[in-house]
Amino acid sequence: MYLLPLLFLSTLIHAQALAPVSGTLLERGTRKPLKDVSLFILPHKLKAVSNEAGEFRFPEVPAGDCELIVNLSGYQKFVRKNVCAPGAGLTVYLEKVFYTTFETTVTSKVVKRDDQAQSLTQEEFLKAPGSFGGDPVRAAQNLPGVAATAGTAQIIVQGASPDDTGYLINGHRVPIVFHFGGLSSVIIPEAVERVDLLPAGYGPEYSRAIGGIIGLTTTNPKDDRIHGMAFVDLLNTGGLVQGPIDKDSSFLIGGRYSYIGQVLKAVAKENEDFELTAAPTYYDLTGIYRRKLDEKNEFKTTMVLSKDELELILNKPANDDPGLRGDFYNRTEFFRVIPQISTRINEKTRMDHSIGLGRDNLLVNIGGRYLDVQNNVISHRSEIQNEWSETYKTYLGLDNNYDRSKVRVNLPNSYSVGGVNTPFSVGEERKFDTEGDDGQFGAYLRQEMKTSADSKWTYLPNLRVDHFTLTRETQLQPRLQLRYQYDSSLQLRGAWGKYAQAPLPQEVSAEYGNSDITAPYAWHYVVGFRKDFRKDTNQGFELTNNYFYKNLRNVVVPDVQKNYRNGGSGTIAGAEVQAKYRMNEWTSQLVYTLLRSERTIPGFGTGPSEFDQTHNLNLIGAYNTDRWTFSGRLRFVSGLPFTPIRGATFDADNDVYVPLAGRIYSQRFDAFRQLDLRVDRKYIYDRWILTAYVDILNVLNSENPQSLEYSFDYRQKKKVRGLPILPTFGVKGEF
């Protein structure tokens, strides 16, 4: 008679003793789900494995004392007691050993279409020393052959003029990628997926830049959950939010604002001897929307808005030139809306289409003399990729750009050669308003061929055609690339081709230039190799070595009678080496470029170009320990050439001295030397990460002069120093 009650009681006790334990395994701070991780409950020797979402479940766990243990390589051991309560739901945050910088992907493993392209992913440029907090374009200056002009938004690629460098966002041309002063790019770094450098010998997909191209590709917004980031430091502040809208779409909104210019503007009004210095007030906004339309089609729209303002007071005229007194105001702004649609027709065929809609505004006002340019832009890109067989692949595309411009000018016609300008007061007054169209229409064919599927050789006979409406000419540009894959770690490569670009609008302007100007072009020749000694790990040594030669033809040069004319030429020859080494907590990199850039100007002979920098050396290093990162960059660049002034004549009519130029670009500024240091300290919480950082540019306070200021009669001169020591203290929060 007691048997049934005992059996019922035993069943009840057993049901209470065995109960499921479930939860979610996340990375502490980032809240990233950790999949395929083993979890154990002791002393019962139970095991569970997390799924794609980080979820785990122990179906039957005895009640009583027990502990949950997770021991995953790269993470701190997790132990939690008393997890055996019936039905307990847990959130387990697993803390990484290192959250510091340089936990990077393996650079050489990034798949690139163009062998000549050098790319930095977001993971890499966010953690690059000397990049001023992970700016993608500043990080690109660590790549071989890249330099920047002091205090400007222009970039020098392999000794070419900054006007010979093209700037792209998602493949569409924009006027700048740097804000004034070159401290930061026009897109908040976390919204950039990749920055690409296309130097000598780049492929047919792009053109209209005989020097090279810097391109930014925006990221796809995260779609797992809402993510956010905000920062504030001594120079600027900003933030970003991204995440899913529904199961098929996601968004990103971010922006920054800099306030350093407000401080210097106040100083200018109080200081009689204030020197004109590029110190901007700027802001930028970025918005991205991405939607999966169906299994084959994906839509993405990127919006970028950038504005820079520089307003200072010239309390005394520069060089005592009566034409340069009063307010100085410079505004550069642009916006682009870039919708893109990608269609995968089948496993071997893909189509991509995009357009760029926007407006560029430039206003320079110096004491009532002004240049006001308003430019409406429509650009278009289409490409179809097809893999015909294992040995043959093609990319056929269109690349078009149309501008409608309004230009207002009230400036004197100032003749300049060798960087020595005649004073504003002497030049003939030019005042006019004009409107015009500028079309640049291009088509290209890229081919990848092999003689057999297992051949080590790849042949890329490519072709580009561009038509420039400004000069009413069509440029046929053959390009060839070769690749030899000796083994998985060693690649040899070479490239040859023609590259053409339209002249600058002012050079071909009927009112201000010469309407007979035609397009300059260049022939590029490149050979090099890349060797990876790491053997499928991220530890060890990588080496890249390239040799390049550029032959510039039909270069536009100043002319006394016609303002501008073709007839100049030039050569650029150089060698580049990039050596990377990583071992455990240490990361180091040596980047060196040796080059010679020369120009021939009729009537002035052959000599160094304005942007000839013989040596360009970067030594970069970082050390990670626990939550700290110590990083730095030592930069040495040969001084830029300049044209000395050998005297001056007095113009009584305008009450000003007119300089007499010596041999153009026959002297050099002192070498550029700069040491940058950065210290990061991370504080890890369950659901977010706080980073405190100190970033110091030019620690040694090197003068680095890159311009000269002369007395009114040009008998005395002094060097104008570059950026002084600039410490930045800030905090950044991420969730």
- Is 255 within a domain? yes
Beta bridge partners of 532: 542
713: left (phi over 0), alpha (psi -120 to 50) or beta: alpha
- Is 24 within a domain? yes
Beta pairing class for 563-583 and 586-601: antiparallel
Lookup result for tokens 């006790």: 13
Residue 529 has pLDDT above 90, yes or no: yes
* DSSP H/E element including 122: helix 122-125
Q: Which stretch, 4-8, 349-353, 423-427, has highest mean pLDDT?
A: 349-353
Residue 484 has pLDDT above 90, yes or no: yes
Q: How much is the pLDDT for 348?
A: 94
Residue that finishes a domain, picked among 47, 79, 94: 94
- Is 160 within a domain? no
> Beta-carbon neighbour count of residue 380 at 10 Å?
16
Region 242-255: mean pLDDT is 96
Among 433, 338, 409, CA closest to 377: 338
Residue that finishes a domain, picked among 45, 79, 94: 94
pLDDT one-digit tens code per residue, 540-586: 899 999 999 999 999 998 887 788 889 899 999 999 999 999 888 88
Question: What pTM, to 2 d.p., does this model score?
Answer: 0.88
Instruction: Residue 58: give its domain's CATH number.
Output: 2.60.40.1120
The domain of 697 spans 227-412+421-734
Residue 235: pLDDT band with limits 50, 70, 90:
confident
Region 707-719: mean pLDDT is 83
Instruction: Residue 457: give its domain's CATH number.
Output: 2.40.170.20
Residues 6+ apart with CB under 8 A from 472: none
Residue that finishes a domain, picked among 63, 94, 125: 94
* DSSP H/E element including 260: helix 260-270
- Is 191 within a domain? no
Domain count, the chain: 2
| Cα torsion through 401, 404, 405, 406, rounded to 10 | -170
Residue 322 has pLDDT above 60, yes or no: no
Q: How much is the pLDDT for 274?
A: 45
pLDDT one-digit tens code per residue, 258-275: 887 665 555 545 555 444
Round to whole Å and give the CA distance between 510 and 537.
60
- Is 703 within a domain? yes
Round to whole Å and give the CA distance between 178 and 152.
8
- Is 110 within a domain? no
Round to whole Å and give the CA distance between 314 and 327.
6
Residue 474: pLDDT band with limits 50, 70, 90:
very high
pLDDT one-digit tens code per residue, 407-438: 888 877 766 777 777 776 666 777 878 888 99
